[in-house]
Amino acid sequence: MRECDVLVIGGGPGGLAAACAAKREGADSVIVLERDKRAGGILNQCIHNGFGLIRYNLELTGPEYAVRAILEAEQAGAQILCSRHVSSIEKAGDGYCVSAYTRDGIERFRTRAIVLATGCRERTRGNISIPGSRPAGVFTAGVAQNLVNVRNVMVGRRVVILGSGDIGLIMARRLTYEGAKVLAIAEIMPQPTGLARNVSQCVQEFGIPLYVRTTVSRIIGKKRLEAVELSDLDDSGKVIPGTARRIDCDTLVLSVGLIPENEVAQTVGVKLLPNNAVDTDRHLQTNVSGVFSCGNSRHVMDLADYVSEQGEMAGRNAVHLLRGEAMESWDEEKSNCMKKGFPEEGTVTCTICPNGCQVRFDEKTGETTGNRCLRGKRFAVQERTAPTRTLTTTVRTTVGEDRLIPVRTADKIARDSIPALIEQLRDVVVNEPKAIGDTVYSTELDGKEVRVIATA
């Protein structure tokens, strides 16, 4: 049996930050248990950029953010153990005994304090009970993301998305890049539930129809999905008779919410809220003394940056508790504070930072309003005259176990150049090891050199 001062369950951004902070706070030994074969959690399949704007003052992709978090935890002295699936937590004396399944059998860990950073899972078709048959071609957004971004499996060519959560919006753009036609996004609420920046850059920019107060009222198909039926909803959320219309498609992607993953927490008696989230005090401690929770297992949050910040506090407070010291309090406003829904008409949604300022540009005077800083003004001017983007995608590889390497352009490129670059990258195959930042491909577009670099 291994022993440690603080045991962290979950190796995503919250768990890694908790481990790093606990070690820096003076814990003698800190262990992270991660059920996947590599740490980083969901970040490893989130190849898009937009991470790290607060924490690192950089615009990183998910894999780039994950690598930074892993290195910080390792350099602080935390031990990260992967392929460990925790099954139970039991009270043992003045601490806890944690059991985890591995390929070689069950391992047990004795610890004085625990940080739960187990994240969340997606709501499935079974959770929302869509009528109709049960054909192939129905995926949750996260599963579709994993298949396309990690396993090099295209989920379909004619796609309908139910729900406007951020993963669904991002997958609308990703599938479009891969050559699919996203026919519609249906949302039961009167506004999209994802961030305004994603509505702007992942949906409106590609001319994808987004219907609010609309749901999938029927799934049609036998072996493979053939079509879905969309229906309008009234103010009470009920289907309006006579509004059904058929959309022929081969794929339905569900982006209908997240459920905190807390089955392991229940084995030690941790109290859960009705939405399956962990109930904690302001110090992030559960009703079980010495057991803390952070990130999406506690409360679904908008940004990985805030998950990391909350994880740090949970890790520090675990050490403070062991020492009998006063603990810090979490500011709940940080959990969800970004602009959501439709961008305001006639504005540019700034993506320089998470504020998502809705900037208005006066074509006559060149003045801007709505931006909180000068960077927002420059962004709005750029968007009106010569919009640029960072392309994030994948290329094939013959190196190692992975089929794909996530990549991005080293610098922003003209938005209109992206389709041409995507076509060129379809033929790229990496046959030698690449480190993060290494050039995978270079070309010339619009008279300028464009470098594409590895992000994992």
pLDDT in tens, 99-143: 999 999 999 999 999 999 999 999 999 888 899 999 999 999 999
Please state, as a whole number, how many other Cβ atoms lie within 10 Å of the Cβ of residue 151.
Answer: 12
Q: Where in the chain is the domain with CATH 3.10.530.10?
A: 389-454
336 pLDDT tier (thresholds 50, 70, 90)? low
Q: What are phi and psi of 141, to 5 degrees?
A: -65, -40
Tell me the pLDDT tens digit for each residue of 423-438. 999 999 999 999 999 9
200 secondary structure, DSSP code? I
Asked if the model's pLDDT at residue 333 lies above 90, the reply is no
Q: What whole-number distance in Å separates Cα of residue 354 and Cα of residue 249? A: 34
**Mean of the pLDDT values across residues 304-326?**
97
- Number of CB atoms found within 10 A of residue 302's CB: 17
pLDDT at residue number 317: 98
d(CA 93, CA 111): 10
According to DSSP, residue 201 is labeled: I
| CA–CA separation, 115 and 317 (whole Å) | 10
Place of tokens 């008409």: 345
Let me know the angle formed at the C-alpha of 217 by 211 and 219, rounded to the nearest 5 degrees.
110
Closest C-alpha to 31, from 261, 292, 325, 315 = 315
Q: What is the pLDDT of residues 7-56, one digit of tens each?
A: 999 999 999 999 999 999 999 999 999 999 999 999 999 999 999 998 99
Alpha-carbon distance of 451 to 72, in angstroms, equals: 28
Nearest to 173 by CA among 186, 190, 189, 161: 161
pLDDT at position 103 is 93
pLDDT of residue 189: 96
CATH fold group of domain 124-256: FAD/NAD(P)-binding domain (3.50.50)
Q: What percent of the chain has pLDDT over 90?
A: 84
Q: Give 337's pLDDT tier (boundaries 50, 70, 90).
A: low
CB proximity list for 250: less than 8 A, separation 6 or greater: 137, 156, 157, 158, 159, 224, 225, 226
Q: What was the pLDDT predicted at 91?
A: 95
421: nearest Cα among 386, 397, 389: 389
CB neighbours (10 Å) of residue 288? 17
Residue 331, CA distances (Å) to 24, 120, 285, 308, 335 in order: 22, 21, 14, 14, 8
The pLDDT confidence band at residue 147, using thresholds 50, 70 and 90, is very high
User: Phi, psi at residue 35, to the nearest 5°?
Assistant: -80, -25
CATH 3.50.50.60 residue window(s) in the chain: 2-121+259-334, 124-256
CATH assignment of 2-121+259-334, among 3.40.50.150, 3.40.1080.10, 3.30.360.10, 3.50.50.60 = 3.50.50.60
pLDDT at 334 over 80: no
Q: Which of 156, 182, 158 is nearest to 170 (CA)?
A: 182
Q: Which helix or strand (DSSP H or E) is residue 382 part of?
A: helix 374-385
Residue 101 to residue 379: CA distance in whole angstroms: 49
Average pLDDT, the chain: 94
Residue 98 burial (CB < 10 Å; 0-12/13-18/19+)? Answer: buried
pLDDT above 90 for 85 = yes
- The alpha carbon of residue 225 and the mean position of all alpha carbons in its chain are separated, in whole angstroms, by 27
Q: Pseudo-torsion of CA 355, 358, 363, 367, nearest 10°?
A: -50
Average pLDDT over residues 289-303: 94
Q: Which two tokens stand for residue 382?
A: 């750029």
Mean pLDDT calculated for residue range 325-332: 94
- Tell me the H-state helices in 85-233: 125-128, 141-149, 166-177, 196-198
Does domain 389-454 bear CATH number 3.40.50.620? no
Mean pLDDT, residues 151-174: 96
Render pLDDT for 205-260 as a digit per residue (tens, 0 to 9).
999 999 999 999 999 999 999 999 999 999 999 999 999 999 999 999 999 999 99
Closest CA to 52 of 352, 411, 439, 413: 352
Determine the pLDDT at residue 335.
61
